[in-house]
Structure 1
Amino acid sequence: MTNEFVSQVFEAVDSGDAATFVGFFSEQGRMVFANGEPMIGPAQIEAGVQAFFGTINALRHTVVREWVQGADTIVELTVEYDRLDGRTVTIPAVTIWHVDADHRIDDYRVYFDVAPIYR
């Protein structure tokens, strides 16, 4: 059974709602997506996520396993991407985040190989 907060985070992403997704972050929140440069703060994170959404038609996360230990969460996923060329690819991924005392994400990292989305 998936933790409610985990479900909310990935539902926001899967709906393409960058504004709702960034609402989970603290003002000092940091996000690193694959091998990209860190995005710091809600404005940068929202712009980066919105830019990524513009490179795909849709995506769907399926939680394989999750581990929540105190303020830290690790989620193993498969992510199905609908590419702009009409093809669909499924990629394994791991997302790790930490929440602050206000239960806002202050560090969010996504580990996966983006190459299949674009080749």
Structure 2
Amino acid sequence: MTISTEVATTRHLLHAADTDIAAFFDFFDDNCTFRMGNNPVIHGRDNIATWVAGYLGNVASMEHHIIEEWHAETVAALRVDVTYTMRSGERITLPAVTRTTVENNKITEYLIFIDASPIIAAS
């Protein structure tokens, strides 16, 4: 089975989130649109990086386990379990779906469907 460019790019994006957060942002187009859960939409790679830094302030590491993948045209959706290890040592695993739009090998839209309230409460 051949993996689409969109799914492969999204897999690499999640791997970077788990291993090298600076490399994670290299996947984004300069004008990328980002939304996590019920938070407001954020426009632009630099604004996304600032928001993510605040969100991950008390997170020591993350690990995404891909359960299911889907794509059509320029869109990929991955259902995952993401385990956050907090700086306190507490581990929290949450279900999520990431939806990316990939154009010219860059993420132009990144939506994360998750209830992140346990991470915020643990911070």
TM-score range, shorter chain: 0.7 to 0.9
**Pairing 1:89–2:92 present:** yes
2:50 to 43, 47, 51: 47
RMSD: 1.8
Asked if the contact 1:31/1:109 (under 8 Å) is kept, the reply is: yes
Asked if the contact 2:9/2:105 (under 8 Å) is kept, the reply is: no
Describe the SS at the equivalent of 2:39.
coil
- Alignment gaps of 5+ in structure 1: none
Counting matched residue pairs gives: 117
1:103 to 98, 105, 115: 105
1:4 to 8, 12, 26: 8
Deviations 1:12-34 (A, max 9, x none): 101241x3112111121110011
Which structure has more relative contact order (CA 8 Å, sep 6+)? It is 2
1:68 to 68, 71, 74: 71
Describe the SS at the equivalent of 2:38.
coil
Describe the SS at the equivalent of 1:99.
strand
Q: Which runs of 4+ in 1 moved over 6 A?
A: none
Q: Distance in 2 between matches of 1:30 and 1:21?
A: 15
Deviation at 1:103, TM superposition (A): 2.4
Q: Distance in 2 between matches of 1:6 and 1:63?
A: 11
Residue 112 (structure 1) aligns with: 114
Q: Distance in 1 between matches of 2:13 and 2:111?
A: 13
Asked if the contact 2:100/2:108 (under 8 Å) is kept, the reply is: yes
Q: Distance in 2 between matches of 1:27 and 1:45?
A: 10
Normalising by structure 1, we get a TM-score of 0.87
